[in-house]
Structure 1
């Protein structure tokens, strides 16, 4: 049985160093929720507070209606999967998976049934008698997952579980983990610094920086309408540009690079003011439109390109010297050559615009 997780005003300190200053968060029952951020931002610290491995200096943690602050980790009914798998090297695969059930005094007959079920679920039934040293990294990770889930925890906690795997295996395992979580419906809290991984597996993501949640939302919401410039740069790739916003004839006009401007119809009301507002733009590579140099737009010159099948990535130097990346669907007969002069336009309905310091997205639709 899974539960919702509620965190109110959590504080974590190491001496005088405040790692998490004041954090509140609600995770839905059965949700795959990811804590995403750079190394040292506090995401693993929060996960360990949920697990009971770290002390709590302030705030309240709840599983459902039960406050768990002072509850021993063994009493929280959690399953935990670590970065280094932490499976017992002196036990077979079967004995590793059985371990938690044995500790809970489950009968031998029931243990055998449950272990068999989860070995089959994780597709490692053929390795039941193997020792961990004879397993690949992906197989060891499946053992760790089976061991965490066989006890039927209320919450599954996963700390960078795929970071030790090669790229191809990471993709395979993240698919397996998501399918498994969907089939079981267990509340899952997942820690990673890999934004692509987070977007592939998550129902919702909390983006962290310096112990503070910058934004919570679905992968689509975070990518399309990041709340600030940090989120825009951490979720996917963005080209940063300086610009200015002015009100002309009742409409908000965004000017970029002194030679290109367009109307923005979705500026928040509080920012639709008279005068000039300096802003920063975040333009994702696919949000550029590459035009011939005779068309209106930002002048630029192609300096490099990479053909990646469906799309070709271009690096373009703008007239002000700045380099940007643009993605264009690959042409059947040719790739735009180095040295070609082009004009760049921006898909105005997709661009994101922030206050000059990058602290706030001034467009509507930000969660």
Structure 2
């Protein structure tokens, strides 16, 4: 059980429209791998190609060393969990979970044993004799998950499985899914448009746009050093500002508004682009702003605030007129609308991109 999935130069077309152009990626055995991106980016299309539900117009998909392009979906030994649960309304919880095992012609004692075991894993033993209509959304999703993994598939595919649940239940279920996946060790490909969800469950994330992987990495890598401005703005919250990058005496200095500048220690500019002065875009996450106590830095005016307990979220207008978002540790007295503050940045945390926002000059973010 559990395989490596190798995708090489994969192409998907609908008529003359290319949806996925020559995509290549390798998903490791037992990995929780997430396809993340906005609607229409190709993530569900790719998942359905792995499942065998969509045709392949070029390239290959392999489970371990076996190319499965022409293998029927029913013979790929995959488990699937859908957004709509898709559990059978006329069968009990136990009956739903046993369905796939019965199709595989297992003996009744073996089926009973496997169902009993998986009920414990997904923690719904007490509901085994209930009908689906008497279950909550989270309980139904656990049934769908149990049914998918009880057959011991090589690959588990999950398509937006939590999108029909309320916010608190989504958090509970994403934690449960990650724990269950770790316990059973199945190679899992998970599709979502929710960045927080992806960050919470994934070993690695592929951020997609227009059928192309923009950044492939761990949640930490993608959040801290996003490959381009699209990834920076899609993962978490950030402020994108225009600035100038100066190269003097062997070091790079970032010049922001009102003459404020910082030496950036981890800039790598390709030789072909190296100049004494470059127009750049800078990604500054809300927590990467520091309120200056000496009234130097970028002048800003408080517009309004949102108290979030340990932290407070402030929306400010910079001197340039640009609206920005900053996050600060909550104090007894909140800053008032109209109040003037000065902001500096954490130079080792921010990300500096070329003028088009396509190349990260900071750190070592790579596809």
TM-score, scaled relative to structure 2: 0.97
Q: Does 1:167 align with 2:189?
A: no
Counterpart residue number, 2:41: 41
Q: Bigger shift: 204-213 or 334-343?
A: 334-343
> Residues 1-367 of structure 1: matches in 2 within 5 Å?
1-270=1-270, 273-292=274-293, 294-331=294-331, 333-367=332-366
Deviation for aligned residue 1:342: 1.0
Structure 1: gaps of 5 or more residues: none
**Which has the larger displacement, 122-131 or 182-191?**
122-131
CA offsets 1:187-237 (integer angstroms, 9 cap, x no match): 000000000000000000000000000010000000000000000001101
Distance 1:259 1:300 in 2: 14
State the Cα deviation string for residues 273-315 of structure 1 (Å, max 9, x = none).
33321100010000000124x4320111111111111011111
Once the two structures are overlaid, the 10-residue window that deviates more, 207-216 or 302-311, is: 302-311
Q: 2-side partners of 1:364 and 1:194: how far apart?
A: 26
| Post-superposition offset of 1:10 | 0.3
Gaps of 5+ in 2: none
> Over the residues paired in the alignment, what is the CA RMSD in angstroms?
1.1
The range that moved more, 338-347 or 43-52, is: 338-347
SS in structure 2 at match of 1:362: coil
Secondary structure at 1:170 match in 2: helix
Instruction: Quote how far apart the aligned CAs of 1:323 are.
Output: 1.1
Equivalent pairs, count: 365
Q: Following the alignment from structure 1 to structure 2, what is the Cα–Cα distance between the partners of residues 31 and 138?
A: 24
C-alpha displacement of 1:269: 4.5
